[in-house]
Amino acid sequence: MAAKLFIVSAPSGAGKTTLVNKLLKRFDDLVFSISHTTRLPREGEVHGKDYFFTDEAQFMEMADAGQMLEWAQVHGNCYGTSAAFIQERLSAGQSVLLDIDVQGGRQIMDCGLDSVSIFIMAPSLTVLEQRLRGRGTDTEEVIRKRLENAKKEIAQKSFYTHVVVNDVLEEAISELIGIVEQETAN
């Protein structure tokens, strides 16, 4: 398998986490890029597995020193990808999957590394809203903010190499597997 960077972006509620986890299980040589974030850990999240949880001073120190391949503010917190983390994996011949927002995705597309970008969408904004409400975890204000953000992200989907609509989960997974197989074939 040729080592590649896979950028996966999606508005919240599009089902990205489920799809990403299935892809990572399917390919031994595809590893998850563990980002740095200033967000506090959610219940069950593990430092060094889900994220490197970092305070703002440490995060900005890394960013200012040019150690982030990309970084952005998302929903009020900073998120970034360590350049060293990515280089180590690519040098070891592994492909890396970056689960990052559109701002970060576009920075990676422009950074000169060979990357494949995938945008995952819900079939419609109505379905996206239903999914966000169905979680039952967010306040009305948070849901509205996420929907506004989703609209802005969807408006940039044309920058991505592949757009996958997550209507039927199994079909979306097959499509993603096909993309990874095809992109790493040579």
- Return residues touching ligand 5GP (CB under 6 A): 35, 39, 70, 72, 74, 79-81, 99-101, 103-104
Q: Is 147 helix (H, G, I), strand (E, B) or coil?
A: helix
Task: Work out how close the CB of 133 gets to ligand 5GP at its nearest, in angstroms, rounded to a whole number.
Answer: 17
How remote is the C-alpha of 98 from its chain's centroid? 5
Task: Work out how close the CB of 148 gets to ligand 5GP at its nearest, in angstroms, rounded to a whole number.
Answer: 14
Task: Work out how close the CB of 185 gets to ligand 5GP at its nearest, in angstroms, rounded to a whole number.
Answer: 26
Beta carbon nearer to ligand 5GP, 39 or 145: 39
Is residue 165 within 8 Å of residue 14, measured between CB atoms? Answer: no
Is residue 116 within 8 Å of residue 4, measured between CB atoms? Answer: yes
Task: Work out how close the CB of 186 gets to ligand 5GP at its nearest, in angstroms, rounded to a whole number.
Answer: 28
d(CA 22, CA 5) in angstroms, rounded, equals 17
Beta carbon nearer to ligand 5GP, 15 or 104: 104
Residue 28 burial by CB count (10 A; 0-12/13-18/19+): exposed, middle or buried?
exposed
